[in-house]
Structure 1
Amino acid sequence: MSIDPRISKQRTALVLSQPFFGALALRLKVVEDPSCETLWVDGESLGYNPEYLASLNDLEVRGVIAHDVLHVANGHCWRMGARDPKRWNEACDYAVNPLVLDAGLLLPKGALLDVRFTGKSAEEIYGRLTEEARQKAKRPGKQPEMQPGKQPARGPDKQPGEPDQNDGQGQSSGPAEQSTPVPNPCGEVRPYQGEDKPTKEAEWKVAVIQAAKAAQMHGKLPGSLQAMVGEAVRPVVDWRAVLQRFAQQASPSDYSFSMPNRRYLHLGFYLPSLHMPAIADAVFVRDSSGSVTAETQAQFNAEILSTFYSLQPARLIVMDCDTRVTQVQIFERGDSPEILPVRGGGGTAFVAPFEKILAEGINPAFLVYLTDMHGRFPASVPYFPVLWASTTPLTRAKKAPFGETMEVIC
């Protein structure tokens, strides 16, 4: 089946005017798919509904091609995991649409835009959308309050004709306009289904770098796209593995003759065995200011329990803190902990847990602090190892004055 001439034409136009998008668009096989609502991309193919395509002008066709290319370039086809597909698609749209507009391209009216999400990853946006949906469910019938100067979220809950002070392109509605368009997802992100997923993902990262270099040589790579490329090709490190490695390194172990290695006793060899005495307290602090989503808190709690069972510290201490310690849970070795929900709210400061440890004579083997890194740090360096679990990408996170930092993006 031949490619729709409008797609072929606008893809060629991207090659000439926007080489970054054009080079990557040529990597996707174009497929006509009347069963889809708009367009879709899965890392290998670009599917389109011909009726939807006919509803767009040429510049909008060019924009939606670039939009879907960015989904693959950002790795959205590889990273959905077990997330809700509809919400993941919304989060991905919020992440890429500002980049498309910043490149001087046009999107259809109703494209999902929200200034709160500009520059954030799809995972961060997904977490915030999930948290907002949870909060909205707790307040039936109450509309979420908007902060001054913020553009309203353009999610699926918005009904046709609902008043809005901004249209899909972030422009003010004129006085003669009585309604705003229905939110318009410009394309569906589908997970890549091939068995060679790691290879395909690696190939796309190389292609993204090459396309960026080619666009730079022609002076046609906006700053926002340059920053996106750096994020898209950055190696992803499993934060759970980092946490386990950090905790195990804090566990004292040495060879000792007090417990000889029984494997060699029958041969007459008296050799030392690896001795692992019980470690001191394992301390975890959860930022309770509201800046860390409930989903991330839940996954972090699961890793706290995993660490407790694997290392068997003298005690597991879980603190919640905003500007003060709002809750402390202590579990002894042998307990079956049930970690309570986070308690707190308000601002953020990291000082109180460290002060409480000194005041109460707690002896941490290590401390892990889950936070977005926006707060006041202690003035003095503690005597025990500290791991900052940052929910803000490390490229944008505030640098801690001591300890190690890992990125926790769930």
Structure 2
Amino acid sequence: MDPRISKQRTALVLDQPFFGALALRLKVVEDPSCDTFWVDGVSLGYNPAYAATLNDLELRGALAQKVLQVANGHCWRMGSRDQKQWDDASAEAVNPIVKDAGMLLPAGAVLTPRFKGKSAEEIYAHLAREARQKEKGGKDGNGGAKPGNTGRPQPANGANTSSAAPPPHAVPSGGEVRQYRGEDVAVKEAEWKVAVLQAAKAAQMRGSLPGGLQAMATQAVEPVVDWRAILHRFAQQSAPTDYSFAMPNRRYLHMGLYLPSLNEPAVGDAVFVRDTSGTVFDETQSQFAAEIMAVNDSVRPRRLIVMDCDTRVTQVQMFERGEPVELLPAKGGGGTVFVEPFRRLLEEEIQPAFLVYLTDMDGRFPDEAPSYPVLWASTTPLRRARKAPFGETVEVIC
């Protein structure tokens, strides 16, 4: 191990015990093949040539950054996302916490104000959408960015780079966050959650745990609920079941026992509403569409009704039971008002078995609750989402 890295890791133990305790859990590996740093939940790799360009405080900040990326679970949650965009999203999520803890980040690290407080998943969705917009012509005729673009990442250390080229070692993000490839992912994730809690408590006892780190530690160890399981459970609960003698249970007839069988009447209409205001991104829409199909196959409602809505209903698709389901892309792009789908159902005298609404929860809700069950699938973390006046809410993590 580079003696400078060893020294700065020791400095973290002494001066920033939360970071230091977690840094000791990572095996430091010299890796000249990488550009800057990488972390995978077990090891922390570094390029010695790059590390040599950093002063001691920048090196300490870089170590803290990688520690937080693991502590926040970014090594477990990348999935099939684009590696570069996930790296950038991860760095944007943890950089404000490192800076607020009083540490210096390497030159070129990004700190975009509008991303502060957001999760890596939320930031990734924004970055992915902006990349697609850029590919579709998000530049002006001269090849430059459109005027008024406020989404440009800002240097983390506040340097003005408008007229000066960045230093040769400047990088646009926090290195790589590699997906953990071991078979014991759940075990490793659980071990890190315990370690984060222990590090937070130890630092708090020493009086050296800033409020931002306390909140991060609490969020990092929150159990992740599978929204898909809740969606399917919600739909299944809406399917009426009862015992009936109309069709006796044949399993016991040979014994002379005339017992009722479980009768499962057909589910009525299943309604899904997709928020198409532009705040629910394509990846989430795609996964939600897949779950709509899965619920339709398992519950087999009388009719599957899929509405798209921004401030008004922009598209309605209706499929009878047994009819092939091919969902059209979400259609819309305006603001967000939740009233219209409920009003439309009332006017057309449709009494669904249940309604599921995919949205970021930032809009105007109906004044009155409907008589049927409603599940709000929130793309905004529940700790920040607006509270719906009725129904059940589940956080969608894609």
Same fold (TM over 0.5): yes
* Structure 2 counterpart of 1:12: 10
Matches within 5 A, 1:47-86: 47-86=45-84
Query: In structure 2, how many angstroms separate the alpha carbons of the residues matched to 1:81 and 1:144?
Result: 30
State whether residues 271 and 305 of structure 2, in contact with CA within 8 Å, keep that contact through their aligned partners in structure 1. Answer: yes
* Structure 2 counterpart of 1:93: 91
State whether residues 307 and 313 of structure 2, in contact with CA within 8 Å, keep that contact through their aligned partners in structure 1. Answer: yes
Query: In structure 2, how many angstroms separate the alpha carbons of the residues matched to 1:23 and 1:178?
Result: 38
Query: In structure 2, how many angstroms separate the alpha carbons of the residues matched to 1:337 and 1:379?
Result: 33
Q: Please tell me whether residue 361 in structure 1 is matched to residue 361 in structure 2.
A: no
**Structure 1 residues 303, 340: closer, same or farther in 2, change over 3 A?**
same
State whether residues 111 and 184 of structure 1, in contact with CA within 8 Å, keep that contact through their aligned partners in structure 2. Answer: yes
* Structure 2 counterpart of 1:283: 271
Query: In structure 2, how many angstroms separate the alpha carbons of the residues matched to 1:267 and 1:369?
Result: 49
* Structure 1 counterpart of 2:288: 300
Query: In structure 2, how many angstroms separate the alpha carbons of the residues matched to 1:310 and 1:375?
Result: 31
* Structure 1 counterpart of 2:374: 386
Residues 76-101 of structure 1, C-alpha deviation per residue, up to 9 Å, x if partnerless?
Answer: 11111111112111111111111111
Q: For residue 327 of structure 1, report the CA deviation from its aligned partner.
A: 1.0
Q: For residue 145 of structure 1, report the CA deviation from its aligned partner.
A: 4.6
Quick one: which of 138, 148, 165 aligns to 1:179? 165
Number of corresponding residues: 393
Matches within 5 A, 1:24-39: 24-39=22-37
Query: In structure 2, how many angstroms separate the alpha carbons of the residues matched to 1:170 and 1:147?
Result: 20
State whether residues 167 and 180 of structure 1, in contact with CA within 8 Å, keep that contact through their aligned partners in structure 2. Answer: no
Query: In structure 1, how many angstroms separate the alpha carbons of the residues matched to 2:397 and 2:125?
Result: 9
**Structure 1 residues 52, 173: closer, same or farther in 2, change over 3 A?**
closer
Q: For residue 115 of structure 1, report the CA deviation from its aligned partner.
A: 1.3
* TM-score calculated relative to the size of structure 1: 0.92
Q: For residue 15 of structure 1, report the CA deviation from its aligned partner.
A: 0.9
Residues 341-370 of structure 1, C-alpha deviation per residue, up to 9 Å, x if partnerless?
Answer: 111112111111111110011110000000
* Structure 2 counterpart of 1:43: 41
Query: In structure 1, how many angstroms separate the alpha carbons of the residues matched to 2:342 and 2:364?
Result: 12
Q: For residue 183 of structure 1, report the CA deviation from its aligned partner.
A: 3.6
Q: For residue 224 of structure 1, report the CA deviation from its aligned partner.
A: 1.7
* Structure 1 counterpart of 2:124: 126
Q: For residue 195 of structure 1, report the CA deviation from its aligned partner.
A: 2.3
Q: For residue 147 of structure 1, report the CA deviation from its aligned partner.
A: 5.7
Query: In structure 2, how many angstroms separate the alpha carbons of the residues matched to 1:219 and 1:115?
Result: 28
Matches within 5 A, 1:91-240: 91-139=89-137, 141-142=139-140, 145=146, 150=150, 152-153=152-153, 166-173=154-161, 177-181=163-167, 183-240=171-228
Secondary structure (helix, strand or coil) at the match of 1:388 reads strand
Query: In structure 2, how many angstroms separate the alpha carbons of the residues matched to 1:370 and 1:285?
Result: 6
**Structure 1 residues 123, 351: closer, same or farther in 2, change over 3 A?**
same
* Structure 2 counterpart of 1:252: 240
Query: In structure 1, how many angstroms separate the alpha carbons of the residues matched to 2:88 and 2:155?
Result: 17
**Structure 1 residues 33, 24: closer, same or farther in 2, change over 3 A?**
same
State whether residues 37 and 176 of structure 2, in contact with CA within 8 Å, keep that contact through their aligned partners in structure 1. Answer: yes
Q: For residue 194 of structure 1, report the CA deviation from its aligned partner.
A: 2.2
Query: In structure 1, how many angstroms separate the alpha carbons of the residues matched to 2:171 and 2:313?
Result: 42
Residues 86-143 of structure 1, C-alpha deviation per residue, up to 9 Å, x if partnerless?
Answer: 2111111111111111111011111022112111111111111111111222216445
Q: For residue 146 of structure 1, report the CA deviation from its aligned partner.
A: 6.8
* Structure 2 counterpart of 1:399: 387
Query: In structure 2, how many angstroms separate the alpha carbons of the residues matched to 1:208 and 1:16?
Result: 17
State whether residues 303 and 318 of structure 2, in contact with CA within 8 Å, keep that contact through their aligned partners in structure 1. Answer: yes
Percent identity reads 67
State whether residues 64 and 107 of structure 1, in contact with CA within 8 Å, keep that contact through their aligned partners in structure 2. Answer: yes
Task: Name stretches of at least 5 consecutive residues in structure 2 with no aligned partner.
Answer: none
State whether residues 377 and 401 of structure 1, in contact with CA within 8 Å, keep that contact through their aligned partners in structure 2. Answer: yes
Query: In structure 1, how many angstroms separate the alpha carbons of the residues matched to 2:385 and 2:263?
Result: 39
What letter matches 2:129 in structure 1? E
Query: In structure 2, how many angstroms separate the alpha carbons of the residues matched to 1:384 and 1:140?
Result: 43
Residues 227-285 of structure 1, C-alpha deviation per residue, up to 9 Å, x if partnerless?
Answer: 11111100001111110000000010111111111111122111111111111100000
Secondary structure (helix, strand or coil) at the match of 2:245 reads strand
Matches within 5 A, 1:280-359: 280-359=268-347
Query: In structure 2, how many angstroms separate the alpha carbons of the residues matched to 1:147 and 1:23?
Result: 43
* Structure 2 counterpart of 1:161: none
Task: Name stretches of at least 5 consecutive residues in structure 1 with no aligned partner.
Answer: 154-165
